[in-house]
């Protein structure tokens, strides 16, 4: 990895950036460093927002709400389309930023930006729909329908692992529905968020509609969640933070996406070459830092040993390095805490009696790198098989048939993504029906959602659905409308002939 670093030219940012409140870029009284995870060097400085900054952002969003919500949705859609066009124009530059600030390898970094482009284009089109329903009434001369209404001021709190895509999921749907926004990004990737907000402003989002406040979870995040004039919260992150939001948000519309412990079932009849390709991509793509990452392989008894040998051979060829280099297969973890968490769980796995096959250590040198790690002979009760690690650590378990495999898959508290590799259509449909998850892939990895389909999970993952038409549900209210043109008082459930 030393040679990789020798070819890597670090760009040093000296600029101190600002927050965006009521159409103006504003400074803070204190700041924090935004760090490159591959080099541990500072990229930029951002304001540590205060409670007063949150209040001003909410005031601005509240003031802007009437004008924005009354703008015809197709006009709002045109602004989202311009945003997509501007992102596409700058895709290469923004992809390099993702690779630098978050650590993704370049193909994934460019994919992160492309997902933002796709979701803005999708929700731009929803401005021509925002569908409600019409239906019959039980009474004569009476019309019944539903219409969409915005929630109001929305607090959007986003993670670092998809620094363009996840903010774009939330911002695009919230905006097309007519909401105004207070947006807090992760303090690990504020520069990507800054660029997205700047582009939205240039695309024509009016002053006060989007307000961008950087800073800590304890000040800015909690301030948004507890604010009495914030009507809705959308959060993607850890289960512990989701639990806190549930207890403290009050009577808000709350959407939570809280992680996963995602299984790939590999049946004895599976195409093992295809399965290995999907498992490696799912487990070590984004350095395992996806809520949909493959963290468990549940292998049929007959093929487990062969599958493990194939996985081990492929994993040992993966090259660590900065995400901006073409030679890199696996980039760094996001920060020191993430690195230490992977180390902690590897130690737990060893103590529990799992068999460490490869990895299990950090390489020498700068950066938050950790070698891709595989454990074999893992049992379902082990912590490494139950708890989300969010790093490049894969556990292999053995199953005896489809029913046992599904039972193992369901033996964790999370229920986000899942996968089965099989040539038997009966196995595929039993997995689709039996696995407790919001997503099930057949003969594909646990990662790879598309923007026009709903995304979310069940159980401790939360019950939010974002993207697709479900994104409209997440960021709007349905109002039921009755129009009685009978000319007399009619009483539902009473005036029934």
- Closest by alpha carbon to 162, among 214, 229, 218, 95? 95
Instruction: Name the catalytic one among 257, 388, 466, 474.
Output: 257
Going by C-alpha positions, the residue among 282, 307, 312 that lies closest to residue 444 is 282
Strand duo 294-300 + 232-236: pairing: unpaired
Bridge-based pairing of strands 294-300 and 262-266 is parallel
Catalytic site includes residue 291: yes
The answer to whether residues 399 and 299 touch, using CB atoms and an 8 Å cutoff, is: yes
Q: Are 254 and 233 in contact (CB under 8 A)?
A: yes
Buried/exposed code over 10-33 (b: 16+ C-beta within 10 A; e: otherwise):
eeebeeebbbbbbeeebebeebbe
- Please check whether residue 142 is in contact with residue 195, taking contact to mean a CB–CB distance below 8 angstroms: no
Rounded (10°) angle between helices 425-434 and 402-409? 30
Pick the closest to residue 286 from 390, 375, 419 (CA basis): 390
Is residue 353 within 8 Å of 395, Cβ to Cβ? no
Please list the alpha-helical segments (H only) found in 155-221: 165-176, 190-203
What are the two backbone dihedrals, phi and then psi, of residue 93, each rounded to the nearest 5 degrees? -60, -45
Exposed e or buried b for every residue in 233-261, given b needs 16+ CB within 10 A? bbbbbebebbebbeeebeebbbbbbbbbb
> How many angstroms separate the CA atoms of 402 and 427, rounded?
7
Catalytic pick among 101, 177, 195, 291 = 291
Q: Are 106 and 95 a contacting pair, CB within 8 Å?
A: yes
Residues with catalytic roles: 257, 291
């Amino acid at each position: 990895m030393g040679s990789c670093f020798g070819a890597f030219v670090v760009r040093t940012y000296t600029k101190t950036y600002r927050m965006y409140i009521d159409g103006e870029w504003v400074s803070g009284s204190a700041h924090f460093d935004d760090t490159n995870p591959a080099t541990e060097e500072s990229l930029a400085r951002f304001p540590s927002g205060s409670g007063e900054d949150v209040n001003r952002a909410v005031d601005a969003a509240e003031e802007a709400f009437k004008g924005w919500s009354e703008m015809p949705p197709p006009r709002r859609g045109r602004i989202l389309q311009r945003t997509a066009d501007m992102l596409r124009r700058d895709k290469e530059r923004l992809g390099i930023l993702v690779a630098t600030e978050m650590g993704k390898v370049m193909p994934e970094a460019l994919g992160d930006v492309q997902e933002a482009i796709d979701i803005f284009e999708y929700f731009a089109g929803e401005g021509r729909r925002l569908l409600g329903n019409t239906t019959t009434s039980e009474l004569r001369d009476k019309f019944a329908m539903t219409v969409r209404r915005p929630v109001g001021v929305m607090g959007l709190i986003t993670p670092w692992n998809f620094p363009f895509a996840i903010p774009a999921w939330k911002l695009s749907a919230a905006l097309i529905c007519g909401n105004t926004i207070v947006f807090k990004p992760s303090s690990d990737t504020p520069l990507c968020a800054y660029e997205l907000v700047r582009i939205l402003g240039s695309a024509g989002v009016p002053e006060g509609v989007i307000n961008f406040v950087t800073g800590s979870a304890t000040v800015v995040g909690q301030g948004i969640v507890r604010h009495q004039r914030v009507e809705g919260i959308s959060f993607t992150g850890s289960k512990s933070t989701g639990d806190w939001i549930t207890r403290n948000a009050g009577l808000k519309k709350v959407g939570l996406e809280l992680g996963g412990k995602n299984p790939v079932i590999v049946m004895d009849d599976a195409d093992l070459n295809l399965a290995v390709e999907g498992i490696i991509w799912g487990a070590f793509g984004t350095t395992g830092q996806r809520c949909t990452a493959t963290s468990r392989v549940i292998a049929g008894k007959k093929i487990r040993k062969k599958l493990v040998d194939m996985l081990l051979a492929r994993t040992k060829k993966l090259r660590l390095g900065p995400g901006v280099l073409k030679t890199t297969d696996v980039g760094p973890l996001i920060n020191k805490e993430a690195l230490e968490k992977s180390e902690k769980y590897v130690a737990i796995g060893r103590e529990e009696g799992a068999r460490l096959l490869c990895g299990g250590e950090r390489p020498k040198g700068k950066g938050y790198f950790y070698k891709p790690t595989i454990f074999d002979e893992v049992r379902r009760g082990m912590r490494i098989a139950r708890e989300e690690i969010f790093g490049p650590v894969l556990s292999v378990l053995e199953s005896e048939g489809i029913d046992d495999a599904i039972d193992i898959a369901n033996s964790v508290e999370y229920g986000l993504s899942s996968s089965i590799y099989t040539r038997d259509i009966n196995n595929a449909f039993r997995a689709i029906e039996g696995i407790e998850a919001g997503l099930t892939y057949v003969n594909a990895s646990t990662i790879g959602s598309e923007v026009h389909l709903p995304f979310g999970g069940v159980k401790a993952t939360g019950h939010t659905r974002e993207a697709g038409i479900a994104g409209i549900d997440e960021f709007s209210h349905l109002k039921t409308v009755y129009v009685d043109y009978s000319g007399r008082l009619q009483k539902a459930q009473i005036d029934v002939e």
